[in-house]
Amino acid sequence: MGTLARVASYKFISPSFWFDYRPSSASSSFIFSVSRSNMALFKALVIASLLLFLLLVDAGDHTAGLEEEQHTLTRNDAGGYPPQKIEYCRGACAGRCRLSSRPNLCKRACGTCCARCNCVPPGTYGNKEQCPCYAKMTTRGNKPKCP
């Protein structure tokens, strides 16, 4: 019955009852009796553990981002293309169409082909075998679409 009397003396008022326990007799001690300095140390350890956990989770997100950056030439979830792809296509098509007699038309057609094929052949003419998708694309009249 002595154990039941001890259990009945716990404070079950708040969730912090573990630290509020004070044994009725001076001779008995309990594992949950904590001094203020130990409580401060405990809180500091909990906060440090939480910060370390958040730091590790954040570091994991950055490594996942590096894997995604390797595939920048694919469509994003919204159906458009990421800004890196647009800049790649603009630069590649500007080089491809720099000697064209109709540069605006050439850049527009090249930009469409680049967006669909994810590549632009090197040089200003030819070399389409290096980008098969670019070479196979045709207009409605079965003429080559890509310059």
Q: How confident is the model at residue 106 (pLDDT cuts 50, 70, 90)?
A: very high
The pLDDT value given to residue 147 = 87
Q: List pLDDT tens digits, range 54-79.
A: 888 777 655 554 444 444 444 444 44
Mean pLDDT across the stretch 42-50?
90
The pLDDT value given to residue 69 = 43
Amino acid, single-letter form, for residue 49: S
pLDDT at 47 over 90: yes
Checking 7-16 for CB contacts under 8 A at 24+ apart, the result is none
How far, in whole angstroms, is CA 28 from its chain's centroid? Answer: 54
State how far the Cα of 113 lies from the Cα of 118, in Å rounded to an integer. 8
The pLDDT value given to residue 73 = 45
Classify residue 121 as exposed, middle or buried by CB count within 10 Å of its CB (0-12, 13-18, 19+): buried
The pLDDT value given to residue 67 = 45
Percent of the chain predicted with pLDDT > 90: 16
More reliable by pLDDT, 8 or 142: 142
* Whether the Cβ atoms of residue 117 and residue 131 lie closer than 8 Å to each other: yes
